[in-house]
Amino acid sequence: MFNNLFNSIDLKGLHLKNRIIFPAMGTKMAEEDGNVSQQIIDYQVARVKGGCGLNMSEVCSVHKASAPKGFLAIHSDSLIESHKKFTEAIHNAGGKCGVQLWQGSLASSLDPSAEILVADDFKYGKYTIPKISVEKIKEVVDSFGEAARRSVEAGYDCIGFHCGHNYLPHSFLTAGMNNRDDEYGGSLENRAKFPLECIRAIRKNIPNDMPLIMRVDAHDDYFKNGLTIDDIIKFCLMAKEAGVDALDISRGNMITPGLKYEVPPIDIPNGFNVENAARIKKETGMVTIAVGRINTPKLADEIIADGKADMVVVGRGQLADPEFCNKAKDGKLDEIVYCVGCNQGCYDGFTDPNVPFITCLRNPLLGHESDDFISKPTEKKKVLVAGAGVGGLEVACLLKEKGHDVVVYESSDHTGGQFLTAGKAPRKNEMLLAAQSYEKKAERLGIEIHLNTPVNAELIRKEMPDEVVAAIGAVPIKIPVDGYDNDNVFSSHDVLNGKSVPFGKCVVIGGGLVGVETAEFIKENLDLDVTIVEMNDEVAKDLGAIRKICVMESLSKSNIKAETSARLTRIGDGFIAVDRDGEEEYILADSVVMAIGAKAKAHDEIKNECEKLSIPCHVIGDTKRARRAINSIREAYEVAGEI
Q: Catalytic site residues? A: 167
| Contact between 336 and 327 (Cβ < 8 Å) | yes
With a CB cutoff of 8 Å and minimum separation 6, the contacts of 81 are: none
Tell me 293's DSSP state.
S
Question: What secondary structure does DSSP assign to 203-239, as a single string?
Answer: HHTS-TTS-EEEEEESS-SS-TTPPPHHHHHHHHHHH
Pure H helices in 428-482: 429-444, 457-463
| Contact between 610 and 525 (Cβ < 8 Å) | no
| HSE-CB of 547 using CA atoms within 13 angstroms | 25
Q: How many CB atoms lie within 10 A of CB 451?
A: 13
Question: What secondary structure does DSSP assign to 529-559, as a single string?
Answer: -EEEE-SSSSSSTTS-HHHHHHHHHHHHHTT
| Contact between 75 and 34 (Cβ < 8 Å) | yes
Per DSSP bridges, beta strands 212-217 and 158-163 are: parallel
Torsion over CA of 63, 25, 6 and 308, rounded to 10 degrees? -80
Taking the C-alpha atoms of residue 223 and residue 191, their distance in angstroms, rounded to an integer, is 16
* Angle subtended by helix axes 229-242 and 193-204, to nearest 10: 30
**335 to each of 312, 321, 375, 532, how far by Cα in Å?**
21, 10, 20, 40
Taking the C-alpha atoms of residue 74 and residue 369, their distance in angstroms, rounded to an integer, is 24
| HSE-CB of 375 using CA atoms within 13 angstroms | 7
With a CB cutoff of 8 Å and minimum separation 6, the contacts of 228 are: 219, 220
Residue 569 burial (C-beta neighbours within 10 Å; 0-12, 13-18, 19+): middle
Q: Which residue, among 243, 245, 214, 249, has the nearest Cα to 229 in the 3D structure?
A: 249
Q: In what order do the strands lie in the sheet with 567-571?
A: 567-571, 575-580, 583-588
Please state the separation of Cα 38 from the chain's center in Å. 23
Residue 52 burial (C-beta neighbours within 10 Å; 0-12, 13-18, 19+): buried
- Three-class DSSP labels, 166-184: CCHHHHHHCCCCCCCCCCC
| Contact between 35 and 76 (Cβ < 8 Å) | no
| Contact between 505 and 528 (Cβ < 8 Å) | yes
The distance between the two most distant Cα atoms of the chain, rounded to a whole number of Å, is 83
With a CB cutoff of 8 Å and minimum separation 6, the contacts of 603 are: 386, 470, 472, 619, 623
With a CB cutoff of 8 Å and minimum separation 6, the contacts of 353 are: none
Taking the C-alpha atoms of residue 425 and residue 202, their distance in angstroms, rounded to an integer, is 47
